[in-house]
Amino acid sequence: MSTVGLFHFPTPLTRICPAPWGLRLWEKLTLLSPGIAVTPVQMAGKKDYPALLSLDENELEEQFVKGHGPGGQATNKTSNCVVLKHIPSGIVVKVD
């Protein structure tokens, strides 16, 4: 399979950069289309988030357990991992 077909864009992607030595934080990659100026935010659109449900802390069960993985001896000896369980739904969230 040819790699030319994998990277074919209908409009050219160009980087607007006055300095030839690199991309600065305030400069962004811009998609240029003939006659149309569209920012990435306009392309993605705004998502509507539903209203958050109320959460009763009495319905939560929390545990502090020992973590695992990289991080040295302190990770394996201290209770630095939090496990939250929502009792009515059974949803469990673990944060190391």
pLDDT tens by residue, 13-47 = 555 545 554 544 444 444 444 445 555 555 555 56
Question: pTM, whole model, 2 decimals?
Answer: 0.41
The rounded mean pLDDT for the chain is 66
More confident call, 73 vs 93: 93
CA distances to 13, 31, 62, 77 from 16, rounded to whole Å, are 10, 10, 50, 51
Range 73-83 average pLDDT: 76
Q: Which residues contact 77 (CB under 8 A, 6 or more apart)?
A: 66
Task: Provide, for the chain, the percentages of residues in helix, strand and coil under a 3-state DSSP scheme, each rounded to the nearest 5.
Answer: 15, 30, 60
pLDDT tens by residue, 47-69 = 666 666 778 889 999 998 887 76
